[in-house]
């Protein structure tokens, strides 16, 4: 592997791509620690120390994860990549509902470019809403529950608007950096930035665990290595459905007669169901944050505060698991269309051996996909619950580094990036990373 890295850096164009990607990552992390104008960085650091000692750092869930800890610092890149992820998911869901978007998706590269443009516009809109919400929480003192420090230098309207504009502009810059990495670097730009934000909190959290207990540090590292191995094994697992293409004459040339396969992964949905479930479970926490301190008692808010805030509560864990299973089936059903795949196979003379083309092929694909999802959905749920169980059993930190979502992102993006680098090395007749 080290030899492959050496040979990669010896290749001028590949070396330039790797160095360009590293430069973008450095710039990205710089924006994640650069304070937004109007923020008292010293008081924010004091409040952040208190928040990490309690549950406040965990209230903002997935947004805090995808910002690499920059959210509670109110930095220029505080929102991280989350608005873009949310916009992409919304557009993906609307493609199934709105015929116009579905038609654009089928138009090829031109339609994809149009959908990408819509995603950018929606990302900016979501960034405005999210930045406004977090600035409002900071102004009211509810961003950090147990901190009495003034984290804003001014309560006037103009400085607050400046903060919103700065955070929104930071999200736009993140989109631009991601597209630069995709075009001129190595790997998918947005995935690389997500990977960077997720692993950014690892060094500090591992150091904190080691300071608390060296034995606990060793246990956490062993559990983390085992989880990474299991996730790599299952993420690489796939069911290959053989497809045979019949020979056909086009003009004077013979086409077809080849054999290939349709790879159906065990985890066909990826990380998206976990994001959906975490986003929904973030809503009760937000409601408790906004209305929990009101003078008039509310039965619903009190029930949510008792059962849906603590991650180690049985009701919370059961709800989280069931939501992941539901969204796994839901997302797989809208992203993989067996009738469409069967029609495309039939159009080009393809068939599954032993299965008649058309409707029987679509029914067979649906049957296989449902069986794979029956294994993939509980797998996602269990992997996501492991850090929560660690919090309950071992009393680990709220920022437990080897979280299920973190592991899934790291493994998925890491494998994809290594494969892309390996393919470029093989094009130049070099040995790859995986021997």
Q: Could you report the per-residue pLDDT of 420-434, keeping only the tens digit for each?
A: 777 777 776 655 455
Q: Quick one: 246 and 158 in the same domain?
A: no
Burial class (CB in 10 A: 0-12, 13-18, 19+), 283: exposed
Tokens matching residue 2: 């080290």
Which residues, in sequence order, are CB contacts of 151 under 8 Å at separation 6+? 39, 40, 43, 44, 47, 74, 138, 143, 144
pTM (global) more than 0.85: no
Is residue 415 in a domain? no
Which whole-number Å values give the CA distances from 53 to 56, 119, 242, 392, 409, in the listed order? 8, 37, 54, 16, 26
Q: Quick one: 192 and 216 in the same domain?
A: no
Q: Quick one: 227 and 261 in the same domain?
A: yes
| Length of the chain, in residues | 435
Q: Quick one: 8 and 127 in the same domain?
A: yes
Tokens matching residue 195: 């990977």
Q: What does pLDDT average to in each consecutive run of 10 residues of the chain (435 residues)?
A: 65 84 90 85 76 52 62 81 85 83 82 88 91 83 71 84 92 92 85 84 78 80 83 88 76 69 87 79 72 65 72 79 90 86 84 87 91 90 78 53 72 81 71 51
Q: Could you report the per-residue pLDDT of 319-332, keeping only the tens digit for each?
A: 888 989 998 998 88
> Residue 145's pLDDT is what?
66
Q: Quick one: 192 and 335 in the same domain?
A: no
Is residue 287 in a domain? yes
> Residue 433's pLDDT is what?
52
Q: Quick one: 296 and 377 in the same domain?
A: yes
Is residue 165 in a domain? yes
Domain of 261?
211-408
> Residue 398's pLDDT is what?
47
Is residue 432 in a domain? no
Is residue 427 in a domain? no
Q: Quick one: 260 and 388 in the same domain?
A: yes
CB 270 within 8 A of CB 376: no
* Residue at a domain's end among 201, 235, 252: 201
d(CA 285, CA 384): 18
Backbone angles phi, psi at 301, to 5 degrees: -65, -40
Which residues, in sequence order, are CB contacts of 95 under 8 Å at separation 6+? 101, 102, 105, 115
> Residue 168's pLDDT is what?
93
Q: Quick one: 263 and 286 in the same domain?
A: yes
Is residue 424 in a domain? no
Is residue 175 in a domain? yes
Q: Quick one: 6 and 139 in the same domain?
A: yes
Backbone angles phi, psi at 168, to 5 degrees: -65, -45
Q: Quick one: 215 and 162 in the same domain?
A: no
For residue 4, what is the domain's CATH number? 1.10.3370.10
Which residues, in sequence order, are CB contacts of 54 under 8 Å at separation 6+? 145, 146, 398
Which residues, in sequence order, are CB contacts of 345 under 8 Å at separation 6+? 243, 351, 352, 357, 361
Q: Quick one: 248 and 365 in the same domain?
A: yes
Is residue 434 in a domain? no
Please tell me whether residue 239 adopts helix, strand or coil conformation: strand
Q: How many structural domains comprise the chain?
A: 2
Q: Quick one: 167 and 252 in the same domain?
A: no
> Residue 57's pLDDT is what?
45
Please tell me whether residue 263 adopts helix, strand or coil conformation: strand
């Amino acid at each position: 592997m080290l030899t492959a890295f050496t040979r990669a850096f010896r290749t001028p164009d590949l070396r330039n791509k790797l160095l360009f990607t590293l430069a973008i990552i450095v710039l990205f992390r710089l924006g994640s620690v650069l304070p937004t104008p109007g923020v008292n960085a010293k008081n924010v650091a004091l409040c952040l120390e208190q928040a990490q000692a309690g549950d406040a750092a965990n209230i903002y869930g997935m947004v805090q994860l995808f910002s690499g800890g920059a959210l509670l610092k109110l930095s220029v890149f505080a929102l991280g990549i989350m608005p873009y992820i949310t916009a992409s998911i919304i557009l993906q869901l609307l493609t199934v509902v709105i015929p116009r978007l579905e038609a654009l998706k089928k138009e090829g590269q031109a339609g994809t470019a149009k959908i990408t443009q819509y995603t950018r516009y929606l990302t900016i809109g979501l960034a405005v809403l999210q930045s406004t919400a977090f600035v409002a929480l900071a102004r009211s003192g509810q961003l950090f529950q147990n901190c009495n420090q003034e984290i804003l230098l001014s309560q006037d309207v103009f400085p607050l608007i400046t903060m919103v504009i700065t955070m929104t502009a930071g999200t736009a810059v993140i989109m631009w950096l991601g597209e630069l990495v995709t075009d001129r670097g190595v790997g998918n730009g947005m995935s690389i930035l997500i990977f960077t934000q997720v692993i950014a909190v690892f060094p500090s959290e591992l150091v904190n665990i080691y300071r608390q207990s060296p034995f606990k540090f060793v246990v956490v590292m062993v559990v983390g290595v085992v989880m990474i191995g299991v996730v790599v094994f299952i993420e690489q697992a796939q069911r290959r459905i053989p497809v045979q293409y019949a020979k056909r004459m086009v003009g004077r040339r013979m086409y077809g007669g080849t054999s290939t396969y349709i790879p159906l992964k065990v985890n066909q949905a990826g990380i998206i169901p976990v994001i959906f479930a975490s986003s929904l479970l973030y809503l009760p926490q937000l409601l408790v944050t906004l209305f929990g301190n009101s003078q008039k008692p509310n039965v619903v808010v009190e029930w949510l505060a008792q059962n849906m805030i603590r991650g180690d509560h049985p009701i919370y864990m059961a709800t989280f698991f069931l939501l992941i299973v539901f969204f796994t089936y839901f997302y797989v059903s809208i992203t993989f269309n067996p009738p469409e795949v069967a029609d495309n196979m039939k159009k080009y003379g393809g068939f599954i051996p032993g299965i008649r083309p058309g409707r029987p092929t679509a029914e067979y694909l649906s049957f296989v996909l449902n069986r794979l999802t029956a294994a993939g959905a509980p797998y996602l749920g269990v992997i996501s619950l492991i850090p929560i169980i660690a919090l309950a059993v071992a009393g680990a930190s709220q920022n437990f580094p080897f979280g299920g979502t973190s592991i899934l992102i790291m493994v998925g993006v890491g494998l994809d990036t290594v494969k892309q680098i390996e393919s470029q090395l093989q094009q130049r007749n070099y040995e790859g990373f995986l021997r």
